[in-house]
Structure 1
Amino acid sequence: MNKLIAIAVATAFAFNVNAQSVQDGAKMISYGRFESAKKALEPLAAKDPLANYNLGISELELENAAAARTIFAKYPDDFYNQAGMARVLFDEGKKDEASKILMAIVDKAKKKEWEKYKAAADAITYTKGGNANDAIAWYKKAIEISGGDASTFIGLGDAYLKLSGGGGEAMNNYDKAVEKGTNNSLAYSKIGDLWYQAHNYDAALKSYGQAKDADPSNPLPYKSLADAYQRAGKYDMALTNIEKFLELSDKSIDDQITYANLLFLSKKYPEAQAKIQELIGKGVQKTYMYRLIAYSAYETKDYQKALDNMRTFYSKQDPAKIIPDDYIYSGKIMSAMAGVDSVHAKMYNDSADFYFNKVVTADTSKDKSEMYRKIAEGFKDAKEYGKAGIWYGKIIASNPEAPALDYFYWGYGAYYAKDYTTAAKAFNGLKTKYPDEGSAYLWIANVAAAVDDEAKTGGAIQPYKDWIAFNKNNYEHKQADLMKAYQYMAFYYYNTNNEKDAMEYVNKILEIEPSNTFANQVKDYYTKQKNAKPAGGGKSAGRK
């Protein structure tokens, strides 16, 4: 008798272990840990149809549809595995065949067999091609029969998200899942995602915190936080959260590439390159990895490496999947190569123009300002100021409401390209649009001084006086700029025999730089004039 009891207890214990293992596998699937789920479920699948079903789901999520089909086929009469086969069919685009299998499952459901409705509904919710309204109806039937568990309410919420405007009902069902108290971490993660999409960031952060507290092993809230911080441009915070996500996740190839991408966005360019090279060394071949190496190499000024990897990327990438940034970085790389390879500079500059013009054609967005800005910054980084100015000018032409900095760099680029007419237009535009920007007044004067480089017409006198008088927003007049202004003004007044005004600015120069050669020459000239008899003669002073 005692022996029989012992056998019964052992059998019950084994059953509970298996059941728990299947539940663990299902939880791993819900957390996106498909490789871990496979390892947990493979020893159980031969004797347990539900374990086999979850094993097939893991393979399907890992994009191993053929393996999933083979697994589901092992239990052709089990409704879970039939629903799994429907998922494979949806994945293959065989919508009608898949729907027929699911209808057969629910049609054969007996009074209390709520699991059949849920399995059929899941097959639609977590694939593409099915009718979300059928899934919603089947989840509701399952809840009607059983009262609903957390997983069913989560599934129903996910199904509503497939409908336009279904976010409210999705939130209601995630809240009901929380009330059940058995799968709170996943439910809170999904609630956080909904709040984030609604731009209620405080509520989203609170929900992600609740998800982490409910199950510290759940990697999903960390992934969501990383995504949120990335979109907000807070790349260091994104990196911190993706690193925590990687600790808890299966570290899939895509997850590791996401990590490398965040390293790049956080300006950790050598680390981003090293991570991608590590994956390539392990035999991973994803075309867009070469894109990331090329981008990172450019940012570390390893232009040849950037060029080589960009060429590899183009040779492997589907042309339909090339993005505007690819053309922009190609143009930036070519511009940089022109600066380091003078023999082939024209070829590289022509190639840069080709890629930058190509991105304009490829970009179908109505507002191209951001794209123009990226191109302009590429030329600016390569010290091709004239070309940078042209592209900043395109920003202004397409969007006169552009920021003051765009107006400034438009003029700055034109100035250093000695296109003073365009430079004057840009800085006058800056002054008109942003009258409280002191730099506009300075550079209007600088342009006028460049046009009158021998200080004969006095065209920059009033602009410099306007700039010197500018005192809005605690504007700081830098000594180097004051020196330039004073020298021009002193030189002009010297050229026009206006000793009084010339000496006013000579003295201002000497206050800043007592040893200034130009100022001392003018001062000496006037001193000698006073000590000598009136006589003709030319002037020999010139600006330092």
Structure 2
Amino acid sequence: MKMINKAALTISGLAMLSSSVFAQSLADAKKAIDAEQYQKAESMLKNLTQTQATKDENFFYLGWVYLKTNEPDSAKATFTKGISVNPKSALNYAGLGAVDRLDKNATSAKADLDKAVAAIDKKDLEPYVYIGKAYLLEPNPDANAAIAVLKKGIASNPKEKNPELFAALGDAYRSQLKNTDAYDNYQQALAINPKMVSAIVATGVIWKQANNFEDSEKEYRKALAIDPNYGPAYRELAETYLRWGNNTKKADAPTKYTQAVDFYKKYLDLTDRSVASRMRYADFLVYAQDYKGLEQEANDIAKIAPKDNLKVYRYLGYAAYENKNYQAGLDALNKFMSQADQKRIIPLDYLYLGRLQLAIGGQDSAAINNLRKALQLDTTQVDAYGEIAKTLYNQKKYVEAGDTYKTYIAKSRQVTLGDYLREGVSYYNAFKEQYFSTAKTKPVPDTTLLVKADSAFSYIQHHAAAPQATVALYQARANDLKEPSRNTTNGYAKPYYEQYIQLINAKTPVADADKVYLGEAYAYLGTYYEYKEKDAAKASENFTKARENDPTNKQAIAYFSKKGGGSAKGK
């Protein structure tokens, strides 16, 4: 009997040992996921799905790793396997809902996430965490739905304190920029588990969003004091220093950017330099505008990434454009956009495709369509308006160019007075084209175009540090076109041509490039004095100056050939 009891004790001990090893292994896998060591986690979880094949949570966490590494098809297959192991697996239904949300299949997502909620065991709060995280997935997060389900999880068993629930709730509020609510929930998580480094790092992100970079860094350092090898803290340090550089003195920015890159390299060293972590580094290099580094990193990733990892061609396309390797960039981006799931195409892809097409030439219409597609999907990409406007101008579609420049000026924060000049010149040329049209059915010139042009020119002259000669010249030309006919000279352009002459003659010496325009200005004044004022002396004086500056000026030639007779107008 004693022998039987001893054997039973031995078997019981082995069972407990086996359970302990499994629990520790799953805990280690989850810790690796939290530390963004995805290759390590994947290896551990693949082993667990074989050695502990009846445990549906093993399949869920493996599927979640696939989601994190941008492999949604593998994730879906793994979650489905988890449900076959346990048809009531709330976690795996949450996983399927997450895949559906990435696929922008709202109906299926809701159905699967509702199944997940229905299947939750009251004692198991973990599914609520991942249902909430599923709702927060980019590119279409639904923070309100996440908050609702996470609060439901907290209320379902108030005695069961799960710090991950509060941390996830903090993430949801943070995505809405409700940082006070986010902070409170991170503190709730830390009250339960003071060493929850992910919650400490998340607190640092709140300070980063408020541009309080010093306090942000303190939180990351606090997390690293608990776990010196916690990679995400270094990633957030990198992204904080990048933002810090964008919000500091221009002279100090390069140092911040260098530190940011160094922190990110440290993050890579502490993860497993997996394709996924390196891809995230490539994302970072895009935002850091380190295109030389991005092109090198993308080429290196391409050598080790699976053939179906098309995203690397996106980076190659972006970097090649910025590094002026246009054909290589177009080839890479075309490969990505033609082979990737259309649900994975983002606005920036269309933006860079359009830019590459413009840079190579011969594809202007396609380029404009792609730039407009980028704007349709992301209205913040306002720089595209300027690129579209420039292309339309080069195509001599002046009205559309002027309208597009006007939109760019209204929406962009990077507007210069040069953009107003381009708007004004576009409208001026549009009117001029109509005015001098030789079409059989001549269009009626749209005088509102001159009003728009003059408005843009006037804005420049009122906001520039000093009056601009080029603008005065265009103001003169635009006002001259307001004359009732080409055979009248009411002097609408006179003050502007006089201003142009004054501004150019103030330069010493006058540039050769300016002389032809001086000739134009003096010839206008000569015509004005000849026909409007009937002042032969001033007419001769101005035509003489026109000829001196530009011997080829047709009005001056006509004046002197006729010695004051006949019409000298008609430039």
Q: For 2:178 and 2:521, locate their aligned partners in 1 and report how far apart those are by CA, in whole Å.
A: 74
Q: For 1:354 and 1:124, locate their aligned partners in 2 and report how far apart those are by CA, in whole Å.
A: 38
For 1:69-106, what per-residue CA distance to the aligned partner results, in whole angstroms no more than 9, with x for missing partners?
A: 657988x79xxx9664564565585345433442xx33
Are 1:309 and 2:345 matched, yes or no? no
- Find 1:33's aligned residue among 22, 34, 37: 37
CA positional deviation for 1:267: 4.4
- Find 1:175's aligned residue among 187, 206, 212: 187
Partner of 1:32: helix, strand, or coil?
Answer: coil
CA positional deviation for 1:437: 0.5
Aligned letter for 2:386?
R
For 1:367-397, what per-residue CA distance to the aligned partner results, in whole angstroms no more than 9, with x for missing partners?
A: 88544124246679xxx49569953542325
What does 1:135-150 align with in structure 2 at a 5 Å threshold?
A: 135-138=153-156, 140-143=158-161
CA positional deviation for 1:286: 3.7
What does 1:153-172 align with in structure 2 at a 5 Å threshold?
A: 153-159=163-169, 161-162=171-172, 168-172=180-184
Residue matched to 2:498: 462
Relative to structure 1, the CA distance from residue 314 to residue 439 in structure 2 (aligned partners, 3 Å threshold; closer, same or farther) is: farther
Q: For 2:323 and 2:398, locate their aligned partners in 1 and report how far apart those are by CA, in whole Å.
A: 21
Residue matched to 1:436: 463
Partner of 1:285: helix, strand, or coil?
Answer: coil
Residue matched to 1:275: 297
Residue matched to 1:447: 474
Higher relative contact order (CA 8 A, sep 6+): 2
Relative to structure 1, the CA distance from residue 100 to residue 210 in structure 2 (aligned partners, 3 Å threshold; closer, same or farther) is: same
CA positional deviation for 1:217: 1.5
Partner of 1:94: helix, strand, or coil?
Answer: helix
Residue matched to 1:375: 388
Partner of 2:357: helix, strand, or coil?
Answer: helix
Partner of 1:334: helix, strand, or coil?
Answer: helix
Aligned letter for 2:463?
D
Residue matched to 2:285: 263
Residue matched to 1:204: 216
CA contact (8 A) 2:150 2:165 kept: no
Partner of 1:140: helix, strand, or coil?
Answer: coil
CA contact (8 A) 2:25 2:44 kept: yes
Which deviates the most, 438-447 or 195-204? 195-204
- Find 1:62's aligned residue among 62, 66, 74: 66
CA positional deviation for 1:194: 3.3
Residue matched to 2:421: 408
CA positional deviation for 1:142: 0.9
Aligned letter for 1:134?
K
For 1:208-243, what per-residue CA distance to the aligned partner results, in whole angstroms no more than 9, with x for missing partners?
A: 343334323122233334555667884973544433
For 1:117-140, what per-residue CA distance to the aligned partner results, in whole angstroms no more than 9, with x for missing partners?
A: 444544544445883333112463
Q: For 1:187 and 1:358, locate their aligned partners in 2 and report how far apart those are by CA, in whole Å.
A: 38
Q: For 1:142 and 1:199, locate their aligned partners in 2 and report how far apart those are by CA, in whole Å.
A: 36
Partner of 1:142: helix, strand, or coil?
Answer: coil
Relative to structure 1, the CA distance from residue 253 to residue 99 in structure 2 (aligned partners, 3 Å threshold; closer, same or farther) is: same
Relative to structure 1, the CA distance from residue 247 to residue 368 in structure 2 (aligned partners, 3 Å threshold; closer, same or farther) is: closer
Q: How many residues align?
A: 461
Which deviates the most, 157-166 or 324-333? 157-166
Residue matched to 2:138: none
Relative to structure 1, the CA distance from residue 317 to residue 374 in structure 2 (aligned partners, 3 Å threshold; closer, same or farther) is: farther
Q: For 2:357 and 2:126, locate their aligned partners in 1 and report how far apart those are by CA, in whole Å.
A: 55
What does 1:496-515 align with in structure 2 at a 5 Å threshold?
A: none
CA contact (8 A) 2:93 2:115 kept: yes
Partner of 1:183: helix, strand, or coil?
Answer: coil
Relative to structure 1, the CA distance from residue 70 to residue 369 in structure 2 (aligned partners, 3 Å threshold; closer, same or farther) is: closer
Partner of 2:273: helix, strand, or coil?
Answer: coil
CA positional deviation for 1:428: 5.1
Q: For 1:478 and 1:417, locate their aligned partners in 2 and report how far apart those are by CA, in whole Å.
A: 34
CA contact (8 A) 1:82 1:101 kept: yes
CA contact (8 A) 1:431 1:440 kept: no
TM-score normalized with structure 2 length: 0.61
Relative to structure 1, the CA distance from residue 168 to residue 353 in structure 2 (aligned partners, 3 Å threshold; closer, same or farther) is: closer
Query: Taking every aligned residue pair, what percent have the same amino acid on both sides?
Result: 20
CA contact (8 A) 1:157 1:169 kept: no
What does 1:531-542 align with in structure 2 at a 5 Å threshold?
A: none
CA contact (8 A) 2:461 2:468 kept: no
Aligned letter for 1:436?
H
For 1:14-63, what per-residue CA distance to the aligned partner results, in whole angstroms no more than 9, with x for missing partners?
A: 99998766554332222232322344567778888999946752443324
Aligned letter for 2:419?
D
Runs of 5+ in structure 2 lacking a partner? 1-9, 68-74, 101-110, 136-144, 247-252, 436-448, 481-488, 527-535, 552-560, 564-571
Q: For 1:308 and 1:219, locate their aligned partners in 2 and report how far apart those are by CA, in whole Å.
A: 35
Residue matched to 2:103: none
CA contact (8 A) 2:163 2:193 kept: no
Residue matched to 2:359: 336
- Find 1:492's aligned residue among 516, 522, 537: 522
Are 1:220 and 2:232 matched, yes or no? yes
CA contact (8 A) 1:132 1:160 kept: no
Residue matched to 1:514: none
CA positional deviation for 1:171: 2.2
Are 1:395 and 2:405 matched, yes or no? yes
For 1:113-168, what per-residue CA distance to the aligned partner results, in whole angstroms no more than 9, with x for missing partners?
A: xxx4444544544445883333112463213xxxxxxxx23432313655789764
Runs of 5+ in structure 1 lacking a partner? 1-6, 107-115, 144-151, 339-344, 471-476, 507-516, 522-535, 539-544
Aligned letter for 1:260?
A
CA contact (8 A) 1:72 1:85 kept: yes
Q: For 1:354 and 1:42, locate their aligned partners in 2 and report how far apart those are by CA, in whole Å.
A: 45
Relative to structure 1, the CA distance from residue 208 to residue 468 in structure 2 (aligned partners, 3 Å threshold; closer, same or farther) is: farther
What value does the CA root-mean-square deviation take over the aligned residues? 5.5
CA contact (8 A) 1:153 1:173 kept: no
CA contact (8 A) 1:328 1:375 kept: no
Partner of 1:175: helix, strand, or coil?
Answer: helix
Residue matched to 1:293: 316
Relative to structure 1, the CA distance from residue 24 to residue 172 in structure 2 (aligned partners, 3 Å threshold; closer, same or farther) is: same
Relative to structure 1, the CA distance from residue 296 to residue 423 in structure 2 (aligned partners, 3 Å threshold; closer, same or farther) is: farther
Q: For 1:322 and 1:65, locate their aligned partners in 2 and report how far apart those are by CA, in whole Å.
A: 20
Partner of 2:468: helix, strand, or coil?
Answer: helix
Q: For 1:490 and 1:405, locate their aligned partners in 2 and report how far apart those are by CA, in whole Å.
A: 23
TM-score normalized with structure 1 length: 0.63
Residue matched to 2:270: 248
